[in-house]
Amino acid sequence: MQLATEPCQALNQEDVFFRTHTGRLKLRILTDGFGELIHYERPDTSGSKQSTYQIHETSKPLELRQLLAAALGETITVKKRREVYVVGQTRIHLDEVDELGSFMELEVLLSPSQDPEEGRLIVSDLMEKLGVNESDLVPCAYADLLLNEAEQGAAAGADEPRR
């Protein structure tokens, strides 16, 4: 990617989501045996949106998964291959998500002194450079898309005769 200011980073990620009362809680399991527990809140709306998040790194993601599954229950697992490109203060994620397809995510890391509007302007500029239209945007998380597909599949299966 010609806009990138750093070499591309390729990642394989498995995000396991757990039931919560607020926001989303996921355990990101990485191929190197490490993981990150991430709690985040972000509105499910189209267009640029601000996220608040906390990350806790772990060297025992599988053990942590068992504990969280027992305590909270798992909702869905998202598996993806991600290429990360850095353009200034923006991380561009090119994701290949199992069962969903290809996506691009623009993540602007704002400094404490920056206003969210600055982030929206950065995203708008990059969207224009990359040829992304507002109509291309997805308002929800990959986990929500997978859950919606599972619900639709279950509803369609309810109409099938039992054998």
Torsion sign, CA atoms 31, 102, 15, 155: negative
What's the pTM?
Answer: 0.85
What top-level class would CATH report for the domain 9-154? mainly beta
pLDDT digits (tens, 9 = 90+) for 119-149: 999 999 999 999 999 989 998 899 999 998 8
pLDDT digits (tens, 9 = 90+) for 53-104: 999 999 999 999 999 999 999 999 999 999 999 999 999 999 999 999 999 9
Domain boundaries, the chain: 9-154
